[in-house]
Amino acid sequence: MRFIASLAASLAVMTGLSAAPLGAQAASLHTNLEKFKAARAFNHLSADGQRALADILNAKQVLDAGQTEAAIPALYDATKRLTAAAKANGQFIAAETSLHPAPQHPAPATHVPSTTPVTWIPVGGEVIGTETLAPEKKAAVATANSQLKSGQIPQAAQTLQVVGADADFILALAPLEPTQGAINRATVFTEARNPKEASAALQQALDGIMFVSDDVVETMPPATGAQQPAASK
């Protein structure tokens, strides 16, 4: 199983340049550009997609415990939230072969990427610190990812302020139609009181998630029908 539990999102706040020497202004500009990049990355995430992924994980955990009845609400919620995510901004269409997996979470060696364009929904992300981070910054990245995983976005943003430009952001993408199909199969199996097959269907959905650099998403055209952010005035 690929690394799913640590899915996270990052958020940084732009700050203005103060009247400082040229060298200090250049350093401040670099820091602010990195914060702006992190803010853009966060904007790519789909809130409904994130919640759908949480529903999938919750349903699978319940099914693995043999509690089929308790898994049904989470499966229904996952279906509704994926439907909502399909109408929101952040989604895009691309063939899997055009998306390069992030080195931190490569696809399994046996995985054969699809060449057919599909709709991708950003369902999570993770902050990755550089190897040369000071111990306190490494601790901040770990804390921020834990906060983001539990949905504490403002707290994570506050924590990441000490990290600055020494971190990268990767997105977790779910192929919309295959994920919806896996959830539908899981629902049918669950309602038939067959938790093993239902859990296996959800595992297929989780295995279909891939991690990419935020820079990859920046170059992708949005899916037709997605609501786009309003143009700034």
Q: Is residue 172 part of a domain?
A: yes
β-pairing, 210-213 vs 167-175, is: antiparallel
Q: Is residue 48 part of a domain?
A: yes
Residues 141-159, mean pLDDT to the nearest whole number? 73
Residues 91-132 have pLDDT tens digits of 778 888 888 888 878 877 777 788 888 899 888 878 887 778
172 in Cβ contact with 207 (< 8 Å):
no
Q: Is residue 233 part of a domain?
A: no
Q: Is residue 3 part of a domain?
A: no
State whether residue 212 is helix, strand or coil: strand
Torsion of CA 183, 184, 186, 188, to 10 degrees: 160
Q: Is residue 232 part of a domain?
A: no
Show the 3-state SS of 61-98: HHHHCCCHHHHHHHHHHHHHHHHHHCCCCCCEEECHHH
pLDDT band at 220 (very low <50, low <70, confident <90, very high): low
**Ramachandran sector of residue 21 (left: φ over 0; alpha: ψ -120 to 50; beta: rest):** beta
Please provide the average confidence, as pLDDT, over all residues in the chain: 74
Residues 31-40 have pLDDT tens digits of 444 554 554 5
Q: Is residue 31 part of a domain?
A: yes
**150 or 49, higher pLDDT:** 49
DSSP strand E in the chain: where?
92-94, 118-129, 167-175, 210-213
Residues 52-93 have pLDDT tens digits of 999 999 999 999 999 999 999 999 999 999 999 888 766 778
Q: Is residue 223 part of a domain?
A: no
149 in Cβ contact with 6 (< 8 Å):
yes
Full residue range of the structural domain in which residue 138 is found: 22-218
Residues 197-209, mean pLDDT to the nearest whole number? 94
Q: Is residue 54 part of a domain?
A: yes
pLDDT band at 228 (very low <50, low <70, confident <90, very high): very low
If one counts the domains in the chain, the total is: 1
